Amino acid sequence: MQRSRGEEDSLCIQRFRISHRQQKLGAVFKEEDIYPINPEGGNGWAKLMGEIQLGMTEECRSAVAWIFNAYGEYCEYEGTAQVVPALIRKAINYPNREFVVWGDGTQTRNLIYIGDCIDAMLKMEEKASYPPLVLNIGNSETTTIRELAETVAKVSGKKIPIKYDATKPVGPVSRIPDITKAVQELGWQPSTSLFVGVKKTYRWIESQLRRIERPFFILDAHANPS
């Protein structure tokens, strides 16, 4: 995200997938832990090149946020949806389809509600600098996929038996940011609980399906486990 206001200020929001320690349960990443880096695919390399370019542009004040698993209203909830909207969609589809979770539920994710994420980015814009301020933007609490699935089922108000399929791919076992630097630099901390964030997201997705006047039983393409 870039903005021009007086001097050329810019806020560049980037997310990198850190691969070298993600298969260790409970692995926590500080900002400096990203180097050396080997981004996943062309998208990851494009983001890295953008950040390097900002670091070479002295006349441009900027900030870089590494965002961990943001979710909320206006998210993609079909096709390649990420884990929160994907599980919400499955709960809405139940009982027309079974509620099946990929993996055994022990893998962890750091989930941040979009409202908290936006608050952090706005504060980062105020802190734009050269060289760029680089911060992890995530949650201070970590959630297992099992906890998330149980929360989605509870929000739905349905008695949903949760089934786990350990034969399916689960993505990284652990992806947890250390947000100490963000808390110190911004005076910010996420405040939305998992239950409240999931409830808001559930209601929005449900309203979208109703608005377009089609049944809740929709084609359930496998979700991206990230």
Which segments in the chain show pLDDT lower than 70? 1-27, 34-40, 172-175, 213-226
Q: CB of 92 within 8 A of CB of 216?
A: yes
What pLDDT was estimated at residue 86? 94
Q: Please tell me the predicted confidence (pLDDT) of residue 151.
A: 98
What is the model's pLDDT at position 194? Answer: 97
- Output the pLDDT for position 26: 59
Q: Please tell me the distance from the alpha carbon of residue 105 to that of residue 153, in angstroms, as a whole number.
A: 14
Q: Which pLDDT does position 202 carry in this prediction?
A: 98
Amino acid 38: pLDDT: 66
Q: What pLDDT sits at residue 36?
A: 61
CATH architecture of structural domain 12-211 = 3-Layer(aba) Sandwich (3.40)
pLDDT of residue 143: 94
* Burial tier of 113 (Cβ tally within 10 Å: 0-12, 13-18, 19+): buried
CB atoms within 10 A of CB 92: 21
